[in-house]
Amino acid sequence: MKKILFLITFLAISLSNCTNLDEGIFDKRVADQFYATSAGANAALANIYGEIRGDWGGKGIAGADRGWFDLNEVTTDELMLPTRSDGAWADNGIWRQLYLHQYGAASELVVNTWNWLYRAVFKGNLAVELLTTAKASPEKIAEAKVLRAYFYYLLMDGWGNVPFFTDNNITIDKIPQTDRKTLYNFVVSELTANVPLLSSTKGGDFYGRFNKWAGYALLAKIYLNAQIYTGTPALTEAIANCDKIINEGGFSLHPNYMELTADRCPDTEVILAVFVEANLAPRNIIGIRSLRGAHGQAVLGFSTWNGATAHQNFVNKYSNDDKRKAQWITGAQPGGVNYALNISSITAAGVEEGARNVRYLPDLTSSSKAVFNNNSTSNDFSVFRYADILLMKAEALVRNGSAGTAKALVDQVRARAGVAALSSAPSLDDLYDERGREFCWEGLRRQDMIRFGKYLLAHDFKPASDPKYSVFPIPQAAIDANTNLKQNAGY
Protein backbone atom coordinates (compact mmCIF):
# COMPACT_ATOMS: atom_id res chain seq x y z
CA MET A 1 0.00 0.00 0.00
CA LYS A 2 1.25 3.45 -0.89
CA LYS A 3 2.70 5.41 1.97
CA ILE A 4 1.84 9.05 2.51
CA LEU A 5 4.70 10.65 0.60
CA PHE A 6 6.41 14.00 0.92
CA LEU A 7 8.66 15.55 -1.68
CA ILE A 8 12.09 15.39 -0.11
CA THR A 9 13.56 17.87 -2.58
CA PHE A 10 13.31 20.68 -0.02
CA LEU A 11 15.26 18.71 2.54
CA ALA A 12 17.88 17.67 0.05
CA ILE A 13 18.40 21.24 -1.10
CA SER A 14 18.56 22.53 2.47
CA LEU A 15 21.16 19.96 3.42
CA SER A 16 23.26 20.48 0.32
CA ASN A 17 23.45 24.18 1.07
CA CYS A 18 25.07 23.67 4.45
CA THR A 19 27.07 20.45 4.35
CA ASN A 20 29.15 18.36 1.97
CA LEU A 21 27.58 14.98 1.42
CA ASP A 22 29.71 12.50 -0.48
CA GLU A 23 27.91 11.51 -3.69
CA GLY A 24 24.69 13.03 -2.29
CA ILE A 25 24.23 10.31 0.33
CA PHE A 26 21.84 11.39 3.07
CA ASP A 27 23.58 11.22 6.44
CA LYS A 28 21.25 11.10 9.42
CA ARG A 29 23.89 12.43 11.80
CA VAL A 30 24.54 15.43 9.57
CA ALA A 31 20.80 16.01 9.28
CA ASP A 32 20.43 15.97 13.06
CA GLN A 33 23.27 18.44 13.37
CA PHE A 34 21.64 20.70 10.79
CA TYR A 35 18.18 20.74 12.37
CA ALA A 36 19.69 21.38 15.79
CA THR A 37 20.98 24.73 14.50
CA SER A 38 18.88 27.88 14.33
CA ALA A 39 19.15 27.92 10.53
CA GLY A 40 18.10 24.29 10.27
CA ALA A 41 15.19 24.72 12.65
CA ASN A 42 14.03 27.79 10.74
CA ALA A 43 14.21 25.83 7.48
CA ALA A 44 11.98 23.10 8.92
CA LEU A 45 9.51 25.73 10.17
CA ALA A 46 9.57 27.66 6.90
CA ASN A 47 8.36 24.54 5.13
CA ILE A 48 5.18 24.69 7.21
CA TYR A 49 4.73 28.46 7.04
CA GLY A 50 4.87 28.23 3.27
CA GLU A 51 1.52 26.43 3.42
CA ILE A 52 -0.18 29.34 5.21
CA ARG A 53 0.45 31.72 2.33
CA GLY A 54 -2.14 31.54 -0.44
CA ASP A 55 -1.56 30.16 -3.90
CA TRP A 56 -3.52 28.47 -6.68
CA GLY A 57 -5.07 25.07 -6.14
CA GLY A 58 -6.65 25.98 -2.82
CA LYS A 59 -3.41 26.47 -0.91
CA GLY A 60 -3.30 28.83 2.04
CA ILE A 61 -5.37 30.91 4.41
CA ALA A 62 -6.03 33.65 1.91
CA GLY A 63 -4.81 34.72 -1.48
CA ALA A 64 -5.81 32.85 -4.59
CA ASP A 65 -9.40 31.73 -4.87
CA ARG A 66 -10.96 28.26 -4.51
CA GLY A 67 -9.59 27.41 -1.08
CA TRP A 68 -10.07 28.00 2.65
CA PHE A 69 -10.90 31.69 2.39
CA ASP A 70 -13.73 31.19 -0.09
CA LEU A 71 -15.02 28.15 1.75
CA ASN A 72 -15.42 30.30 4.87
CA GLU A 73 -16.65 33.47 3.16
CA VAL A 74 -18.75 32.63 0.10
CA THR A 75 -20.85 30.30 2.28
CA THR A 76 -21.90 33.36 4.36
CA ASP A 77 -23.86 36.57 4.00
CA GLU A 78 -20.85 38.87 3.47
CA LEU A 79 -19.29 37.68 0.20
CA MET A 80 -20.89 36.45 -2.99
CA LEU A 81 -19.76 35.82 -6.55
CA PRO A 82 -23.01 35.91 -8.51
CA THR A 83 -23.07 34.69 -12.07
CA ARG A 84 -23.12 37.84 -14.18
CA SER A 85 -25.53 38.53 -17.01
CA ASP A 86 -22.64 38.22 -19.47
CA GLY A 87 -21.91 34.69 -18.19
CA ALA A 88 -18.88 35.62 -16.11
CA TRP A 89 -18.37 33.67 -12.89
CA ALA A 90 -20.69 30.85 -13.93
CA ASP A 91 -17.85 28.36 -13.35
CA ASN A 92 -20.17 25.37 -13.45
CA GLY A 93 -22.11 26.80 -10.52
CA ILE A 94 -19.40 26.39 -7.87
CA TRP A 95 -19.90 29.86 -6.37
CA ARG A 96 -23.68 29.59 -6.25
CA GLN A 97 -23.43 26.16 -4.62
CA LEU A 98 -21.32 27.60 -1.83
CA TYR A 99 -23.57 30.59 -1.24
CA LEU A 100 -26.79 28.56 -1.36
CA HIS A 101 -25.36 25.71 0.77
CA GLN A 102 -25.45 23.07 -1.91
CA TYR A 103 -21.86 21.84 -1.59
CA GLY A 104 -21.09 18.12 -1.52
CA ALA A 105 -18.30 15.58 -1.15
CA ALA A 106 -16.98 16.27 -4.65
CA SER A 107 -17.15 20.08 -4.47
CA GLU A 108 -13.92 21.56 -5.76
CA LEU A 109 -13.29 23.96 -2.90
CA VAL A 110 -14.04 21.32 -0.26
CA VAL A 111 -11.54 18.96 -1.87
CA ASN A 112 -8.93 21.69 -2.40
CA THR A 113 -9.04 22.84 1.20
CA TRP A 114 -8.99 19.32 2.63
CA ASN A 115 -5.96 18.38 0.54
CA TRP A 116 -4.15 21.57 1.51
CA LEU A 117 -4.77 21.08 5.23
CA TYR A 118 -3.53 17.50 5.23
CA ARG A 119 -0.44 18.49 3.28
CA ALA A 120 0.18 21.10 5.97
CA VAL A 121 -0.40 18.55 8.76
CA PHE A 122 2.08 16.22 7.10
CA LYS A 123 4.68 18.97 6.99
CA GLY A 124 3.93 19.78 10.63
CA ASN A 125 4.48 16.16 11.64
CA LEU A 126 7.72 16.09 9.68
CA ALA A 127 9.03 19.26 11.30
CA VAL A 128 8.17 18.03 14.80
CA GLU A 129 9.97 14.75 14.09
CA LEU A 130 13.08 16.38 12.60
CA LEU A 131 13.41 18.98 15.34
CA THR A 132 12.72 16.54 18.17
CA THR A 133 15.21 13.98 16.84
CA ALA A 134 17.84 16.69 16.39
CA LYS A 135 17.21 17.96 19.93
CA ALA A 136 16.54 21.44 18.58
CA SER A 137 15.68 24.23 21.00
CA PRO A 138 12.41 23.72 22.90
CA GLU A 139 11.10 26.98 21.45
CA LYS A 140 11.49 25.73 17.86
CA ILE A 141 9.88 22.37 18.63
CA ALA A 142 7.04 24.20 20.38
CA GLU A 143 6.51 26.43 17.32
CA ALA A 144 6.25 23.38 15.06
CA LYS A 145 3.71 21.77 17.40
CA VAL A 146 1.65 24.97 17.59
CA LEU A 147 1.60 25.22 13.80
CA ARG A 148 0.44 21.61 13.51
CA ALA A 149 -2.25 22.27 16.13
CA TYR A 150 -3.40 25.29 14.12
CA PHE A 151 -4.02 23.18 11.02
CA TYR A 152 -5.83 20.54 13.04
CA TYR A 153 -7.97 23.32 14.51
CA LEU A 154 -8.99 24.35 10.99
CA LEU A 155 -9.89 20.73 10.18
CA MET A 156 -11.84 20.38 13.42
CA ASP A 157 -13.69 23.61 12.72
CA GLY A 158 -14.53 22.76 9.13
CA TRP A 159 -15.17 19.03 9.18
CA GLY A 160 -15.65 17.90 12.78
CA ASN A 161 -14.61 14.23 12.84
CA VAL A 162 -11.47 13.85 10.76
CA PRO A 163 -8.47 11.56 10.14
CA PHE A 164 -5.84 12.13 12.81
CA PHE A 165 -2.17 11.18 12.85
CA THR A 166 1.01 12.66 14.30
CA ASP A 167 3.44 10.15 12.79
CA ASN A 168 3.86 10.18 9.01
CA ASN A 169 5.03 6.57 8.94
CA ILE A 170 1.54 5.26 8.35
CA THR A 171 -0.38 4.17 5.29
CA ILE A 172 -3.43 6.12 4.23
CA ASP A 173 -5.79 3.22 4.81
CA LYS A 174 -4.66 2.86 8.44
CA ILE A 175 -5.25 6.45 9.58
CA PRO A 176 -8.03 6.49 12.20
CA GLN A 177 -10.89 8.95 12.24
CA THR A 178 -11.00 11.02 15.42
CA ASP A 179 -14.15 12.62 16.78
CA ARG A 180 -14.33 16.39 17.16
CA LYS A 181 -14.18 16.43 20.95
CA THR A 182 -11.09 14.22 21.07
CA LEU A 183 -9.37 16.39 18.49
CA TYR A 184 -10.36 19.49 20.48
CA ASN A 185 -8.70 18.00 23.55
CA PHE A 186 -5.54 17.22 21.57
CA VAL A 187 -5.33 20.72 20.09
CA VAL A 188 -5.94 22.42 23.43
CA SER A 189 -3.39 20.17 25.15
CA GLU A 190 -0.75 20.87 22.50
CA LEU A 191 -1.33 24.60 22.69
CA THR A 192 -1.43 24.93 26.48
CA ALA A 193 1.82 22.95 26.72
CA ASN A 194 3.68 24.76 23.95
CA VAL A 195 2.41 28.33 23.65
CA PRO A 196 4.20 29.41 26.89
CA LEU A 197 7.48 28.24 25.30
CA LEU A 198 7.13 30.55 22.31
CA SER A 199 8.87 33.89 21.98
CA SER A 200 7.08 37.02 23.16
CA THR A 201 8.83 39.08 20.43
CA LYS A 202 6.54 41.05 18.13
CA GLY A 203 7.39 42.11 14.60
CA GLY A 204 10.79 41.81 13.00
CA ASP A 205 11.73 38.19 12.51
CA PHE A 206 8.44 37.19 14.15
CA TYR A 207 6.23 39.07 11.74
CA GLY A 208 4.05 36.38 10.16
CA ARG A 209 5.08 33.74 12.73
CA PHE A 210 3.43 32.26 15.78
CA ASN A 211 4.71 33.99 18.87
CA LYS A 212 3.22 33.70 22.34
CA TRP A 213 0.51 36.27 21.60
CA ALA A 214 -0.65 34.52 18.44
CA GLY A 215 -0.78 31.29 20.42
CA TYR A 216 -2.98 32.86 23.09
CA ALA A 217 -5.22 34.32 20.37
CA LEU A 218 -5.65 30.86 18.86
CA LEU A 219 -6.48 29.38 22.26
CA ALA A 220 -9.03 32.14 22.91
CA LYS A 221 -10.66 31.44 19.54
CA ILE A 222 -10.86 27.71 20.21
CA TYR A 223 -12.25 28.17 23.72
CA LEU A 224 -14.87 30.64 22.46
CA ASN A 225 -16.11 27.96 20.04
CA ALA A 226 -15.85 25.09 22.54
CA GLN A 227 -19.64 24.83 22.83
CA ILE A 228 -19.80 24.06 19.11
CA TYR A 229 -16.88 21.62 19.16
CA THR A 230 -17.63 19.70 22.37
CA GLY A 231 -21.07 20.68 23.66
CA THR A 232 -19.46 22.28 26.72
CA PRO A 233 -18.63 26.01 26.90
CA ALA A 234 -15.18 27.26 27.93
CA LEU A 235 -15.94 30.95 28.32
CA THR A 236 -13.76 31.51 31.38
CA GLU A 237 -10.81 30.04 29.52
CA ALA A 238 -11.53 32.23 26.49
CA ILE A 239 -11.56 35.33 28.68
CA ALA A 240 -8.33 34.32 30.42
CA ASN A 241 -6.46 33.98 27.13
CA CYS A 242 -7.83 37.28 25.85
CA ASP A 243 -6.66 38.87 29.09
CA LYS A 244 -3.11 37.61 28.58
CA ILE A 245 -2.99 39.56 25.34
CA ILE A 246 -4.83 42.63 26.66
CA ASN A 247 -2.81 42.91 29.87
CA GLU A 248 0.61 41.72 28.74
CA GLY A 249 0.86 41.91 24.95
CA GLY A 250 1.12 45.66 24.49
CA PHE A 251 -1.27 45.75 21.52
CA SER A 252 -3.61 48.57 20.59
CA LEU A 253 -6.11 49.44 17.89
CA HIS A 254 -4.42 50.93 14.83
CA PRO A 255 -5.89 54.41 14.21
CA ASN A 256 -6.79 53.79 10.55
CA TYR A 257 -8.99 50.76 9.87
CA MET A 258 -8.30 50.79 6.13
CA GLU A 259 -4.55 50.43 6.73
CA LEU A 260 -5.00 47.04 8.38
CA THR A 261 -4.90 45.34 4.98
CA ALA A 262 -1.88 47.23 3.65
CA ASP A 263 1.28 45.82 2.12
CA ARG A 264 2.42 45.19 5.69
CA CYS A 265 -0.10 44.82 8.48
CA PRO A 266 0.59 47.14 11.46
CA ASP A 267 1.92 44.91 14.22
CA THR A 268 0.60 47.31 16.84
CA GLU A 269 -2.78 45.62 16.20
CA VAL A 270 -2.21 42.60 13.98
CA ILE A 271 -1.08 39.68 16.11
CA LEU A 272 -0.50 37.21 13.29
CA ALA A 273 -0.32 38.07 9.59
CA VAL A 274 0.11 36.12 6.39
CA PHE A 275 3.11 37.59 4.59
CA VAL A 276 2.51 38.20 0.89
CA GLU A 277 4.90 39.74 -1.63
CA ALA A 278 3.79 39.77 -5.25
CA ASN A 279 7.18 38.93 -6.74
CA LEU A 280 8.49 36.51 -4.12
CA ALA A 281 5.72 35.17 -1.90
CA PRO A 282 2.40 35.51 -3.72
CA ARG A 283 -0.51 35.98 -3.72
CA ASN A 284 -3.49 38.11 -2.73
CA ILE A 285 -6.32 38.42 -5.26
CA ILE A 286 -9.04 39.45 -2.79
CA GLY A 287 -9.19 43.05 -3.97
CA ILE A 288 -8.55 42.61 -7.68
CA ARG A 289 -11.32 40.01 -7.83
CA SER A 290 -13.88 42.69 -6.91
CA LEU A 291 -13.47 45.66 -9.27
CA ARG A 292 -14.74 45.66 -12.84
CA GLY A 293 -11.95 45.45 -15.42
CA ALA A 294 -12.18 48.99 -16.78
CA HIS A 295 -12.21 50.40 -13.25
CA GLY A 296 -9.10 48.46 -12.30
CA GLN A 297 -7.36 49.53 -15.49
CA ALA A 298 -8.12 53.17 -14.77
CA VAL A 299 -6.96 53.25 -11.15
CA LEU A 300 -4.39 50.44 -10.98
CA GLY A 301 -3.11 50.07 -14.49
CA PHE A 302 -4.32 46.51 -14.98
CA SER A 303 -7.66 44.86 -15.63
CA THR A 304 -9.51 43.45 -12.62
CA TRP A 305 -11.97 40.59 -12.45
CA ASN A 306 -15.47 42.00 -11.74
CA GLY A 307 -16.57 39.28 -9.36
CA ALA A 308 -16.71 39.54 -5.59
CA THR A 309 -19.34 41.66 -3.92
CA ALA A 310 -21.85 41.46 -1.05
CA HIS A 311 -25.62 41.61 -0.93
CA GLN A 312 -27.04 45.04 -0.24
CA ASN A 313 -28.44 43.88 3.09
CA PHE A 314 -24.95 43.29 4.42
CA VAL A 315 -23.57 46.59 3.12
CA ASN A 316 -26.52 48.35 4.73
CA LYS A 317 -25.41 47.08 8.15
CA TYR A 318 -22.91 49.98 8.15
CA SER A 319 -24.18 53.42 9.15
CA ASN A 320 -23.06 56.30 6.96
CA ASP A 321 -20.80 57.66 9.70
CA ASP A 322 -19.01 54.32 10.09
CA LYS A 323 -15.47 54.71 8.71
CA ARG A 324 -15.45 51.01 7.87
CA LYS A 325 -18.11 51.64 5.24
CA ALA A 326 -15.38 53.25 3.10
CA GLN A 327 -14.35 49.75 2.02
CA TRP A 328 -17.59 49.51 0.01
CA ILE A 329 -17.90 51.69 -3.07
CA THR A 330 -20.90 52.33 -5.30
CA GLY A 331 -21.81 54.85 -7.96
CA ALA A 332 -19.71 56.38 -10.72
CA GLN A 333 -16.04 55.34 -10.77
CA PRO A 334 -13.04 55.94 -13.03
CA GLY A 335 -13.08 53.93 -16.24
CA GLY A 336 -16.71 54.75 -16.97
CA VAL A 337 -17.97 52.24 -14.40
CA ASN A 338 -21.08 52.85 -12.29
CA TYR A 339 -21.79 50.32 -9.53
CA ALA A 340 -25.34 49.80 -8.29
CA LEU A 341 -25.75 48.76 -4.65
CA ASN A 342 -28.61 46.34 -5.26
CA ILE A 343 -28.04 42.89 -6.74
CA SER A 344 -31.06 41.60 -8.62
CA SER A 345 -30.13 37.96 -9.09
CA ILE A 346 -27.58 35.35 -8.10
CA THR A 347 -27.82 33.68 -11.51
CA ALA A 348 -27.83 36.73 -13.82
CA ALA A 349 -26.63 39.79 -11.91
CA GLY A 350 -25.91 42.88 -13.97
CA VAL A 351 -22.21 43.36 -14.70
CA GLU A 352 -22.13 46.49 -12.52
CA GLU A 353 -24.50 45.34 -9.80
CA GLY A 354 -23.18 45.10 -6.28
CA ALA A 355 -20.94 47.27 -4.11
CA ARG A 356 -17.23 46.61 -4.57
CA ASN A 357 -14.70 46.17 -1.80
CA VAL A 358 -11.46 48.15 -1.89
CA ARG A 359 -9.79 47.01 1.35
CA TYR A 360 -7.24 44.78 -0.36
CA LEU A 361 -6.38 46.95 -3.35
CA PRO A 362 -2.63 47.58 -3.71
CA ASP A 363 -1.25 50.92 -2.59
CA LEU A 364 0.53 52.07 -5.73
CA THR A 365 2.16 54.98 -3.89
CA SER A 366 3.94 52.62 -1.51
CA SER A 367 7.66 52.03 -1.85
CA SER A 368 7.28 48.52 -0.40
CA LYS A 369 6.45 46.67 -3.63
CA ALA A 370 2.68 46.63 -3.16
CA VAL A 371 2.32 45.90 -6.85
CA PHE A 372 0.42 43.70 -9.19
CA ASN A 373 2.33 40.80 -10.68
CA ASN A 374 1.15 37.49 -12.09
CA ASN A 375 -2.37 37.91 -10.69
CA SER A 376 -1.06 38.88 -7.28
CA THR A 377 -0.84 41.93 -5.06
CA SER A 378 1.33 42.30 -1.99
CA ASN A 379 -1.32 43.06 0.62
CA ASP A 380 -0.70 40.99 3.75
CA PHE A 381 -3.63 39.26 5.44
CA SER A 382 -4.40 39.37 9.14
CA VAL A 383 -5.19 36.07 10.86
CA PHE A 384 -5.55 37.42 14.41
CA ARG A 385 -5.77 41.04 15.49
CA TYR A 386 -6.39 42.98 18.66
CA ALA A 387 -9.91 44.10 17.72
CA ASP A 388 -10.88 40.43 17.60
CA ILE A 389 -9.44 39.89 21.07
CA LEU A 390 -11.54 42.75 22.44
CA LEU A 391 -14.73 41.51 20.78
CA MET A 392 -14.08 37.86 21.69
CA LYS A 393 -13.70 38.82 25.33
CA ALA A 394 -16.83 40.97 25.12
CA GLU A 395 -18.80 38.09 23.63
CA ALA A 396 -17.57 35.63 26.26
CA LEU A 397 -18.57 38.10 28.97
CA VAL A 398 -22.06 38.54 27.49
CA ARG A 399 -22.52 34.79 27.19
CA ASN A 400 -21.28 34.46 30.78
CA GLY A 401 -23.80 36.96 32.12
CA SER A 402 -21.52 40.03 32.38
CA ALA A 403 -22.79 42.17 29.53
CA GLY A 404 -22.22 45.39 31.45
CA THR A 405 -18.49 44.70 31.66
CA ALA A 406 -18.40 43.97 27.93
CA LYS A 407 -19.67 47.39 26.86
CA ALA A 408 -16.34 49.22 27.22
CA LEU A 409 -14.60 46.64 25.04
CA VAL A 410 -17.12 46.97 22.23
CA ASP A 411 -17.06 50.75 22.48
CA GLN A 412 -13.28 50.79 21.90
CA VAL A 413 -13.79 49.14 18.52
CA ARG A 414 -16.73 51.39 17.67
CA ALA A 415 -14.76 54.52 18.60
CA ARG A 416 -12.04 53.65 16.11
CA ALA A 417 -14.76 53.28 13.47
CA GLY A 418 -16.11 56.73 14.32
CA VAL A 419 -19.51 55.54 15.55
CA ALA A 420 -21.13 56.34 18.86
CA ALA A 421 -20.79 54.16 21.91
CA LEU A 422 -23.57 51.67 22.56
CA SER A 423 -26.46 53.16 24.49
CA SER A 424 -26.67 50.12 26.76
CA ALA A 425 -24.94 46.84 27.51
CA PRO A 426 -24.37 44.83 24.30
CA SER A 427 -26.61 41.96 23.32
CA LEU A 428 -25.41 38.97 21.34
CA ASP A 429 -27.07 40.46 18.26
CA ASP A 430 -25.10 43.68 18.81
CA LEU A 431 -21.88 41.67 18.92
CA TYR A 432 -22.80 39.62 15.87
CA ASP A 433 -23.40 42.73 13.78
CA GLU A 434 -20.30 44.46 15.13
CA ARG A 435 -18.16 41.48 14.22
CA GLY A 436 -19.61 41.51 10.71
CA ARG A 437 -18.74 45.15 10.18
CA GLU A 438 -15.29 44.87 11.75
CA PHE A 439 -14.01 41.62 10.22
CA CYS A 440 -15.63 41.68 6.80
CA TRP A 441 -13.69 39.48 4.34
CA GLU A 442 -11.21 38.31 6.97
CA GLY A 443 -12.28 34.65 6.90
CA LEU A 444 -14.16 34.70 10.22
CA ARG A 445 -17.77 34.96 9.12
CA ARG A 446 -18.72 31.30 8.71
CA GLN A 447 -17.45 30.42 12.18
CA ASP A 448 -19.18 33.47 13.64
CA MET A 449 -22.49 32.67 11.93
CA ILE A 450 -22.41 29.12 13.26
CA ARG A 451 -21.59 30.23 16.80
CA PHE A 452 -24.38 32.82 16.79
CA GLY A 453 -26.91 30.39 15.28
CA LYS A 454 -27.26 32.29 11.99
CA TYR A 455 -25.50 30.08 9.46
CA LEU A 456 -28.43 27.83 8.53
CA LEU A 457 -31.03 30.60 8.43
CA ALA A 458 -32.41 32.06 5.20
CA HIS A 459 -30.85 35.33 4.06
CA ASP A 460 -30.98 37.32 0.83
CA PHE A 461 -30.99 34.76 -2.05
CA LYS A 462 -30.25 31.82 0.24
CA PRO A 463 -33.08 29.70 1.68
CA ALA A 464 -32.83 28.00 5.07
CA SER A 465 -30.37 25.13 4.86
CA ASP A 466 -30.10 21.62 6.28
CA PRO A 467 -28.16 21.29 9.58
CA LYS A 468 -25.66 19.00 7.83
CA TYR A 469 -24.09 22.09 6.25
CA SER A 470 -22.72 23.20 9.62
CA VAL A 471 -19.74 21.01 8.74
CA PHE A 472 -18.28 20.26 5.35
CA PRO A 473 -18.47 16.80 3.78
CA ILE A 474 -15.38 14.63 3.77
CA PRO A 475 -14.17 14.36 0.16
CA GLN A 476 -15.29 11.12 -1.43
CA ALA A 477 -11.76 10.36 -2.62
CA ALA A 478 -10.57 10.36 1.01
CA ILE A 479 -13.30 7.90 2.00
CA ASP A 480 -12.51 5.69 -0.99
CA ALA A 481 -8.84 5.56 0.09
CA ASN A 482 -9.55 4.85 3.77
CA THR A 483 -12.43 2.64 4.87
CA ASN A 484 -11.94 3.86 8.45
CA LEU A 485 -13.63 7.11 7.49
CA LYS A 486 -17.33 7.69 7.97
CA GLN A 487 -18.98 10.52 6.06
CA ASN A 488 -20.47 13.38 8.04
CA ALA A 489 -24.18 12.89 8.69
CA GLY A 490 -26.52 13.83 5.86
CA TYR A 491 -24.01 13.82 3.01
Q: Can you tell me the mean pLDDT for 393-406?
A: 98
- Rounded to whole angstroms, how far apart are CA atoms 63 and 191? 26
Q: In this predicted model, what pLDDT tens digit does every residue of 136-187 receive, in sequence order?
A: 999 999 999 999 999 999 999 999 999 999 999 999 999 999 999 999 999 9
pLDDT at 372: 63
Which of these ranges, 236-250, 284-298, 417-431, has the smallest mean pLDDT?
284-298
pLDDT at 373: 65
Say yes or no: domain 1-198 is CATH 3.40.50.620: no
Residue 4 has pLDDT above 60, yes or no: no
Tell me the range of 5-9, 362-366, 428-432 where mean pLDDT is highest. Answer: 428-432
β-bridge partners, 270: 385
Looking at the chain, the domain(s) classified CATH 1.25.40.10 span: 200-286+359-456
Which residues neighbour 247 within 8 Å (Cβ) at sequence distance 6 or greater? none
Tell me the range of 202-206, 287-291, 416-420 where mean pLDDT is highest. Answer: 416-420
Q: Can you tell me the mean pLDDT for 462-475?
A: 98
Fold topology of 200-286+359-456 = 1.25.40
pLDDT range class, residue 32, cuts 50, 70, 90: confident
Q: In this predicted model, what pLDDT tens digit does every residue of 76-123 receive, in sequence order?
A: 999 999 999 999 999 999 999 999 999 999 999 999 999 999 999 999
pLDDT at 138: 98
Which residues neighbour 57 within 8 Å (Cβ) at sequence distance 6 or greater? 64, 66, 67, 112, 116
pLDDT at 14: 35
Q: In this predicted model, what pLDDT tens digit does every residue of 334-389 receive, in sequence order?
A: 999 999 999 999 999 999 999 999 999 887 766 555 556 667 788 899 999 999 99
- Amino acid letter for position 398: V
pLDDT at 54: 86
- Helix 235-248 and helix 212-224, axial crossing angle in degrees, nearest 10: 150
Nearest Cα to 77, choosing from 457, 356, 466?
A: 457
Q: Can you tell me the mean pLDDT for 41-53?
A: 95
Mean of the per-residue pLDDT values of the chain: 92
Looking at the chain, the domain(s) classified CATH 1.25.40.390 span: 1-198
What is the percent of the chain with per-residue pLDDT over 70, rounded to a whole number? 92
pLDDT range class, residue 24, cuts 50, 70, 90: very low
Asked if residues 388 and 444 have their Cβ atoms less than 8 Å apart, the reply is yes
Q: Write down the pTM of the prediction.
A: 0.94
Residue 271 has pLDDT above 60, yes or no: yes
Residue 13 has pLDDT above 80, yes or no: no
> How many whole angstroms from its chain centre is CA 392?
16
Nearest Cα to 368, choosing from 280, 274, 267?
A: 280
